[in-house]
């Protein structure tokens, strides 16, 4: 079964860049890595996904090294509204199941 | 993406009763899933809701406790049966949207969740 490790919590200040890393040392070869954002009392919201190297969209960047044993979500210039829990989602190499990370609670302060 | 709604958004139930949660999607989707998120925890997959056949349950979840229906490609229900306080959680449905020609891969989108409290 794929195992993931994320920091439980992180603190940041408005305007800073935040990098959240998910370690996943055994994931499905062909599956993408996906990151979600979740606010209290809401379902997870898709942020970004990638397979290798770097992917960037209007809200975040995702860095995935060649060995795909980790992925780093980068949030540029965070604001108070980025305070949320961030989850990585990876594929299990056995059985095709998708596994959520434990989640990182990001707190952005003024 | 897809617009996903769930009913009810929250409920408080008595021990021993059952609650059926509905999930409606604004477009036809092949794959629908049900997750549980216990307080302060990550999401755990309960089952895959298959249209026209029995749901596929993950280890630790059984049909008698969590019966699922999937009558068509836009709707599914999850029933939490014979509830106990340990069933107090958020229950979320999700759908998998197939990747377009220029997109990476199929992506899961989530409903807003149903917050269940069992007394």
Task: Give the model confidence (pLDDT) of A42-72 as tens digits.
Answer: 999 999 999 988 999 999 999 999 999 999 9
Average pLDDT (B43-50) is: 94
Per cent of chain A over pLDDT 70 is 97
The pLDDT, as a whole number, for residue B16 is 97
Long-range contacts of B68-71 (CB under 8 A, 24+ apart): B68/B34, B70/B32
Q: Which of A16-20, A52-56, A85-89, B8-12 is the least confident region?
A: A52-56
Task: Give the model confidence (pLDDT) of B68-103 as tens digits.
Answer: 999 999 999 999 999 999 999 999 999 988 766 555
Residues of chain A contacting B, Cβ within 8 Å: 31-32, 34, 36, 41-46, 49-51, 55, 87, 89, 97-98, 100-103
Partner residue facing B104 (CB), from A49, A97, A101? A49
B113 and B10 Cβ atoms separated by less than 8 Å = no
The pLDDT, as a whole number, for residue B98 is 75
Q: Is B101 exposed, middle or buried (0-12, 13-18, 19+ CB in 10 A)?
A: exposed
pLDDT over 90 at B1, yes or no: no
Distance CA B58, CA B56 (A): 7
Q: Which two tokens stand for residue A75?
A: 């949030």
């Amino acid at each position: 079964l794929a195992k993931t490790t994320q920091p439980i919590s992180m603190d940041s200040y408005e305007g800073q860049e935040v990098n959240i890393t998910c370690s996943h040392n055994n994931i499905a070869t062909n599956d993408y890595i996906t990151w979600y954002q979740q606010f209290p009392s809401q379902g997870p919201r898709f942020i970004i996904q990638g397979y290798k190297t770097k992917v960037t969209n209007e809200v975040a960047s995702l860095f995935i090294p060649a060995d795909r044993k980790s992925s780093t979500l980068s949030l540029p210039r965070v604001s108070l509204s980025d305070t949320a829990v961030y989850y990585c989602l990876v594929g299990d190499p056995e059985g095709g199941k998708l596994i959520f990370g434990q989640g990182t609670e990001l707190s952005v302060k003024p | 993406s897809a617009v996903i709604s769930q009913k009810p958004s929250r409920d408080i139930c008595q021990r021993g009763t059952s609650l059926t949660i509905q999930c409606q999607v604004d477009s036809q989707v092949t794959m629908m899933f049900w997750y549980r998120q216990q307080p302060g925890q990550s999401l755990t997959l309960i089952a895959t809701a298959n249209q026209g056949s029995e749901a596929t349950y993950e280890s630790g979840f059984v049909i008698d406790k969590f019966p699922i229906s999937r009558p068509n490609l836009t709707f599914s229900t999850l029933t939490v049966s014979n509830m106990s306080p340990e069933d107090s959680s958020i229950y979320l449905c999700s759908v998998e949207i197939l990747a377009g020609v220029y997109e990476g891969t199929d992506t899961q989108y989530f409903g807003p969740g149903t917050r269940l409290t069992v007394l």
